[in-house]
């Protein structure tokens, strides 16, 4: 009886439960997790790139990154301003206080942040630059500096930027900000003339509130680089990791393996220390790395066959051979004399970078005889990377007198890379480098990016007489009569009533040294301590007035155009936080080996007794 009642109760409970659930919305079934073997995106690769890292994945993190920040320029000649938007002023006061400005530990005259912002010797500026793709920590880049709109700053000439944090995305003065990716500091360069793509003799209007710092930015922490697989798979990931780490084994000082798996669809990449100066080339080698590491010779032969059938794929072929290593050289060595230039240059480029000495003669031949300018320049650049060999230097030197200016500059850069003694270099007070190149065709070349440098083709370029030039708002006057042994130079600092009168030999090299050098106990040679931009501005004025009989070429200004171009497609992705040569006592000491019969460089003269020169450092000094 008891058992029967128990069964009836259980049956009733079941019926009631079913009835009560019929009006309740059932939970939706969980979506199935996507399988790793399903493609995420489609990769279309040319036949030359099959069976490579690039055929299975894309590289993430190789876009240029625009960074910006507010900074403080010090050392101005009363051309700064206290006028600032209230939000920017409050932000700068906060940042300067955090940095310890005005404390006894800082060498800034112990001025408070407020007093510094109120000084006309300082100016608040906007700093911006572009971090190169996949840049490791320590990578340097140019930065652009300009006065905050609405301020009363009239000139940044002679100023120096204090260390400034640079962040991705738009400028911000409050709230949550992106992590700092880089820092910037250094002397400001004002472009004193227009680029040479325009009329060099036309009058120019120089914007004194905008400048740049050459090589003034430095990446604080390596930019992350990853591979993202088109078809996620742990097996594919393992294959790519094995191929990459075989091709790029861990180097001394490298903490992690070059490739490390994060998941079945992502691989983290560490750029090896040996490639920190050429991260862009490393990325190309990475993309062109062959997945099958067992037979490099056979793969090199396959690349050769593919190239000869499709000469337009020459660039990819060269990178594939380079990624395969020295064992690939015998498979393409006979292409050094191939009649078609594209396969020939691809083989020569791979052979050169893999250290094959057999590339020298074919490269010299192409550099001299190719009808394509880009090919000639590419060959000159490759010759600069070949092993030390005086015979190679002798082959390049005649191209310093080529009819084409680009070839002459390419030959200079190649010889400079090779450290050929045919080029004499002197650092002028750590401001810029003066390169003297032996050439029969006088040329002055000015850099406007990277390292500040003046290149002078013809080591004894005379300054034409008679001459009179007034520049730097008439604070600098150069004068010489016909037949004078020296140029008389009158110079007065803008903020000083005193002046100096000096004499310099009437040649361009000692004049450049005199303009840029600052006289000191350690280096007593005469000089008036002009900045790099003031020095090349004076040279340009001399050239425009016809006192220098030489071509004048300036590197095209690309930094602003690059920033504007990158801003159009800027990704505001937050990233993890990234936190010299000795002075030469004289030009003669810095340029040994130039003999009197070989375009000797005359030195500058000592100052006259009782005369003043030099420049006051001011009360606010850069950190």
For the chain, give every domain's residue range.
47-61+224-287, 65-219, 296-423, 434-558+586-590
Q: Any idea of the CA torsion for 310, 316, 318, 320, to the nearest 10 degrees?
A: -110
pLDDT number for residue 623: 32
Confidence of residue 495 (pLDDT cuts 50, 70, 90): low
Q: Give the angle 562-186-117 at the CA atoms, nearest 5°.
A: 105
DSSP label at residue 462: B
Nearest to 259 by CA among 247, 277, 241, 273: 241
Residue 442 scores a pLDDT above 90:
yes
What ranges make up the beta strands (E) of 57-122? 57-60, 65-74
Closest by CA position to 120, among listed 622, 619, 623: 619
pLDDT score of 39: 74
Range with the largest mean pLDDT of 30-34, 505-509, 615-619: 505-509
Alpha helices in 99-174 (DSSP H): 113-118
Q: What is the pLDDT of residue 150?
A: 85
Summarize pLDDT for 371-382 with one digit per residue, the tens. 999 999 999 999
pLDDT tops 60 at residue 19:
no
Q: Which two tokens stand for residue 222?
A: 């390596």
Residue 282: predicted pLDDT: 95
Query: Residue 617's pLDDT is what?
Result: 30
Measuring CA to CA, which residue among 506, 575, 473 is closest to residue 489? 506
511/498: higher pLDDT: 511
Does residue 608 register a pLDDT over 50? no
| pLDDT for the residue numbered 11 | 42
* Cβ atoms of 489 and 513 closer than 8 Å: no
Q: Quick one: pLDDT band at residue 564, thresholds 50, 70, 90?
A: low
Q: What percent of the chain has pLDDT over 90?
A: 59
pLDDT of 481 above 80: yes
Between residues 597 and 323, which one has the greater pLDDT? Answer: 323
* Alpha helices (runs of H) in 71-203, residue ranges in sequence order: 86-98, 113-118
Question: Is a pLDDT exceeding 50 seen at residue 468?
Answer: yes
Whether 40 and 232 have beta carbons less than 8 Å apart is answered as: yes
Please give the pLDDT value at position 97.
87
**Mean pLDDT score of the chain, rounded to an integer?**
82
pLDDT at residue 455 above 60?
A: yes
Give the model's confidence band at 100: pLDDT under 50 very low, under 70 low, under 90 confident, else very high.
confident
User: What class does CATH assign to 296-423?
Assistant: mainly alpha
User: Confidence class of residue 10 from pLDDT cuts 50, 70 and 90?
Assistant: very low
Element (H, E) at 240: helix 234-247
- With vertex at residue 135, the alpha carbon angle to CA 129 and CA 140, rounded to the nearest 5 degrees, is 50
Which range (80-84, 146-150, 589-593) has the least confidence? Answer: 589-593
Q: What per-residue confidence (pLDDT) applies to 63? A: 84
pTM: 0.78
SS3 (DSSP) at 213: strand
The region of weakest confidence among 82-91, 115-124, 199-208, 336-345 is 199-208
Q: How confident is the model at residue 40 (pLDDT cuts 50, 70, 90)?
A: confident
């Amino acid at each position: 009886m008891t058992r029967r009642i128990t069964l009836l109760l259980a049956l009733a409970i079941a019926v009631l439960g079913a009835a009560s659930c019929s009006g309740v919305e059932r939970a939706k079934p969980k979506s199935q997790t996507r399988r790793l073997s399903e493609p995420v995106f489609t990769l279309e690769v040319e036949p030359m790139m099959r069976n490579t890292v690039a055929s299975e994945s894309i590289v993430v993190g190789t876009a240029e990154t625009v960074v910006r920040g507010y900074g403080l320029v010090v050392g101005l000649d009363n051309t700064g301003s206290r006028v600032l938007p209230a939000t920017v002023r409050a932000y700068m006061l906060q940042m300067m206080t955090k940095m310890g400005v005005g404390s006894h530990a800082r060498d800034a005259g112990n001025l408070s942040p407020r007093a510094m912002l109120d000084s006309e010797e300082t100016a608040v500026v906007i700093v911006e630059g572009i971090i190169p793709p996949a840049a490791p920590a320590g990578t340097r880049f140019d930065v652009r500096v300009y006065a905050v709109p609405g301020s009363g700053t009239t000139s940044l000439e002679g100023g120096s930027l204090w260390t400034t944090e640079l962040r991705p995305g738009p400028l911000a003065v409050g709230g949550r900000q992106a992590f700092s990716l880089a820092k910037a500091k250094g002397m400001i360069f004002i472009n004193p003339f227009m680029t040479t793509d325009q009329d060099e003799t036309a009058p120019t209007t120089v914007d004194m509130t905008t400048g740049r710092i050459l090589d003034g930015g430095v990446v604080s922490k390596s930019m992350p680089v990853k591979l993202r697989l088109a078809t996620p798979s742990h097996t594919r990931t393992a294959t790519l990791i094995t191929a990459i780490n075989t091709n790029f084994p861990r180097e001394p000082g490298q903490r992690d393996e070059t490739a490390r798996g994060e998941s079945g669809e992502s691989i983290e990449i560490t750029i090896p220390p040996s490639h920190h100066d050429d991260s862009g080339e490393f990325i190309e080698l990475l993309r062109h790395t062959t997945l099958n590491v067992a037979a490099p010779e056979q793969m090199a032969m396959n690349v050769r066959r593919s190239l000869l059938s499709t000469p337009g794929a020459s660039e990819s072929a060269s990178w594939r051979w380079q990624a395969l290593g020295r064992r690939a050289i015998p498979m393409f060595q006979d292409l050094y004399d191939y009649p078609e230039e594209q396969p020939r240059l691809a083989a020569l480029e791979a052979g050169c970078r893999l250290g094959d000495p057999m590339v020298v003669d074919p490269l010299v031949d192409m550099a001299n005889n190719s009808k394509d300018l880009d090919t000639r320049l590419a060959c000159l650049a490759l010759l600069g990377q070949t092993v030390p060999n005086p015979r190679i230097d002798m082959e390049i030197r005649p191209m310093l007198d080529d009819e084409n200016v680009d070839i002459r500059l390419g030959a200079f850069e190649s010889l400079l890379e090779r450290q050929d003694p045919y080029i004499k270099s002197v650092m002028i007070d750590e401001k810029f480098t003066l390169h003297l190149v032996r050439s029969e065709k006088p040329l002055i070349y000015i850099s406007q990016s990277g390292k500040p440098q003046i290149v002078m083709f013809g080591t004894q370029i005379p300054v034409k007489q008679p001459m009179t030039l007034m520049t730097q708002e008439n604070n600098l006057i150069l004068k010489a009569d016909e037949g004078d042994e020296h140029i008389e130079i009158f110079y007065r600092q803008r903020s000083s009533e005193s002046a100096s009168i000096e004499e310099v030999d009437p040649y361009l090299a000692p004049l450049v040294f005199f303009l840029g050098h600052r006289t000191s106990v350690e280096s007593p040679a005469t000089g008036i301590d002009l900045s790099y931009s003031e020095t090349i501005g004076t040279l340009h004025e001399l050239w425009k007035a016809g006192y220098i009989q030489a071509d004048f070429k300036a590197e095209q200004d690309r930094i602003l155009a690059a920033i504007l171009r990158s801003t159009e497609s800027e990704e505001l992705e937050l990233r993890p936080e990234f936190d010299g040569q000795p002075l030469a006592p004289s030009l003669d000491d810095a340029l040994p080996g130039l003999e009197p019969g070989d375009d000797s460089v005359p030195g500058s003269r000592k100052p006259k007794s009782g005369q003043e020169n030099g420049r006051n450092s001011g009360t606010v000094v850069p950190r």
